[in-house]
Amino acid sequence: MYKKTTSIQCAKYCEILKTLPKNGNSNYFNAKKTIKKKIIDELFVYDLYVYVQVESGIVGIVFLDDLNHKPELFAIHKTLKIKPGTYFNFISLSQSGAITMQMHLSANSQKVRIPEFGSNGIKSSIKVQEIYAYYYSTKGNSYFFEGEKHPYWEMTFVDNGELITNVEGTDYTLPPRSVFFYGPHQFHTQRTTDKNTCSYMTIMFEMKDMDPEKLSNRVIQCSKNMFQTLSMFMHLSNEKWEHINELLLSLLKLLIIYAMDETNEIELSNQNINPMQQHYEDELMNEITQYIMNHINSSLTINEICDKFAISRSSLQALFKRNLDISPKHYINNIKLEQSKILLKNSARTVSEVSDMLGFASIHYFSRKFKLQYGIAPSEYAKSIVN
């Protein structure tokens, strides 16, 4: 996702105006440029302010404030007043674009070379072309499937029980909430033990240009995202919507993306949560986050939240980590910092007043956290805003 030039991260490079200045002074001139390049290897820097306005297309601007740093790409939104000493160049984010640059006649410029930098449009490298079949099966104990191989991909998701599969001579044990991908032409068998039944879903599909080693021959324990995606696939598989097939293909593709994440490799644990427990956690999370929002202007502590919701500190930490992948203290700080941006932008309050209003321990602590989060001091951010 592109950052826009109106984002807080761009404030150190430029200011935002509504339109180009109407300079009747003959010492200023306008230059119109067509932007077609998607990859650049040079940046320009001026000793005076440069104004930029997009006339057509979608144009990105590459900024750099120090040649030892990495360039940053922003989609141009509104008119820019680029600060002197800032390195920049333009990239077309659409087929082509056009801009107007305005500057003083006495402005001096320099050009510097950089390693190639560019942006290509979002293209898919995962080419799921067709789902041939999908079905849900329940097998009793001592079930045995003698095996097959075929020229397409196959995925098995074990919902309950345990399934043992042999792939070209190697046994793999699939516990509950695990996934296994069979690559094209891989011979495989499936069986249950004499003590266990198994419920599982199978999806057979066509996928081009995928290296089998990225998916096959490993048991993948479902993350929360994977399980939710599989549950949605099963829930929607019998629907008759006009575009349901497109949605099922998209869900399968999303599942493959999650599965390719190496962090999803199996680590057996007892941390899986049943749907009833997840529903309870969802409701509790909603209540806690709403409580935090309602008390954002106070020095809210973790102990206060624990007392309010009759939950231990360790349970609260685990709840936030499991559902938001963040600690409750970090979550509260993030909410306060987002609120501080709104207050600095839409009110006449000083940085000190905003810090006090949101219950930060001190203005120094607030300023340090703000700069760590957004890369700019709150005082600089407040000055950079042009209404």
Residue spans of the chain under pLDDT 70: 24-25, 120-121, 262-275, 346, 385-387
- What does pTM read for this prediction? 0.50
What class has domain 273-387? mainly alpha
Q: Which of 197, 166, 193 minimizes the C-alpha distance to 182? A: 166
What class has domain 3-118? mainly beta
Supply the pLDDT for residue 269: 41
Express each pLDDT in 25-38 by its tens digit. 678 999 999 999 99
Distance separating alpha carbons of residues 264 and 348, to the nearest angstrom? 48
Distance separating alpha carbons of residues 129 and 135, to the nearest angstrom? 18
Supply the pLDDT for residue 170: 95
Supply the pLDDT for residue 274: 65
Supply the pLDDT for residue 41: 94
Supply the pLDDT for residue 326: 82
Overall fold of domain 127-264: Jelly Rolls (2.60.120)
In the chain, residues under CATH classification 1.10.10.60 are 273-387
Average pLDDT, the chain: 87
Express each pLDDT in 33-53 by its tens digit. 999 999 999 999 999 999 999
Type of residue numbered 257: I
Q: Which of 385, 362, 376 minimizes the C-alpha distance to 12? A: 376
Supply the pLDDT for residue 262: 53
In the chain, residues under CATH classification 2.60.120.10 are 3-118
Residue reference for tokens 């006339």:
55
Supply the pLDDT for residue 25: 66
